[in-house]
């Protein structure tokens, strides 16, 4: 098995036949590394994340997560693998509005039939404490502020203890103070678990927190 968390080779992706949107000759990210995906709007950042998460399939190339070629997996196998191995923090949060913050955080455990044993409950409590969710833990998602919803979505992306967490514009709706606090919390939680973290954003302040960066629209190699 490969030691790399993410490996991409000779990938070409297009939404329309014959019109390549994204070409990635080579991208490798080691386990536990944190990488910032940069580039202007329309440069392919979200498309790149979708490919890594297995939500989009390229016309050509290879994509491996933790040594597993996700392009060789059937749909049900990929869904199961993604539930176990990949946490995804979407730009629009995707919370269930009528569920409480706590139930939204724990939802992936039920969906992927993971046991709520003592260790899992400790993980949930740690996420709640790190992201300061306690004061609104039992409020419904629709009653929460944007910043509170973002923290709940962040906790949910880590709750299954994934090997890889992907975040798409995680700070776009936050003010300066909230933005830095959330990013440092994400990086702290990832480091504590030796979890690989990929964050896409157009925010230069967020970029400054990362040692590694990659521009899917303008580069074919990882930059330090």
pLDDT at residue 10 in the model: 94
pTM greater than 0.85 (yes/no): yes
CATH number of 4-214: 3.40.50.300
The residues near 32 (Cβ < 8 Å, ≥ 6 apart) are 5, 190, 191, 194, 195, 196
Strands in 4-13's sheet, in edge-to-edge order, are 22-30, 4-13, 60-65, 68-69
Structural domain boundaries in the chain: 4-214
pLDDT at residue 174 in the model: 82
pLDDT at residue 177 in the model: 83
pLDDT in tens, 130-189: 999 999 999 999 999 999 999 999 999 999 999 999 999 998 878 888 888 899 999 999
Q: Could you report the average pLDDT of every consecutive run of 10 residues in the chain (224 residues)? A: 83 78 91 93 89 94 95 93 92 93 92 66 91 96 94 94 94 84 93 95 90 81 46
SS (H, E, C) the chain: CCCEEEEEEEEEECCECCECCEEEEEEEEECCCEEEECCCCCCCHHHHHHHHCCCCCCCEEEEEECCEEHHHCCHHHHHHHHHHHEEEECCCCCCCCCCEHHHHHHHHHHHCCCCCCHHHHHHHHHHHHHCCCHHHCCCEHHHCCHHHHHHHHHHHHHCCCCCEEEEECCCCCCCHHHHHHHHHHHHHHHHHCCCEEEEECCCHHHHCCCCEEECCCCCCCCEC
pLDDT at residue 122 in the model: 87
pLDDT at residue 42 in the model: 79
pLDDT at residue 117 in the model: 62
pLDDT at residue 190 in the model: 95
């Amino acid at each position: 098995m490969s030691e790399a968390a993410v490996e991409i080779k000779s990938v070409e992706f297009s939404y329309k036949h014959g019109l390549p949107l994204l070409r990635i000759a080579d991208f490798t990210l080691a386990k536990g590394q944190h990488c910032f995906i940069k580039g202007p709007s329309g440069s392919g950042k979200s498309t790149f994340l979708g490919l890594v998460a297995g939500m989009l399939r390229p016309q050509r190339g290879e994509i491996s997560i933790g040594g597993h070629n996700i392009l060789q997996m059937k749909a049900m196998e990929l869904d199961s693998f993604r539930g176990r191995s990949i946490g995804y923090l979407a730009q629009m949060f995707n919370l269930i509005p009528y569920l409480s913050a706590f139930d939204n955080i724990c939802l992936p455990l039920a969906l992927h039939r993971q046991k709520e044993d003592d260790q899992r409950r400790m993980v949930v409590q740690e996420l709640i404490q790190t992201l300061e969710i306690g004061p609104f833990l039992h409020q419904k998602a629709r009653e929460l502020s944007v910043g509170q919803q973002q923290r709940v979505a962040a906790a949910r992306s880590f709750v299954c203890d994934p090997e890889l967490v992907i975040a798409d514009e995680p700070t776009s709706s936050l003010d300066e103070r909230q933005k830095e606090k959330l990013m440092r919390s994400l990086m702290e939680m990832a480091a504590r678990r030796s979890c690989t973290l990929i964050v896409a954003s157009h925010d230069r302040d967020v970029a400054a927190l990362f040692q590694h960066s990659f521009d899917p629209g303008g580069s074919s190699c990882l930059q330090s």
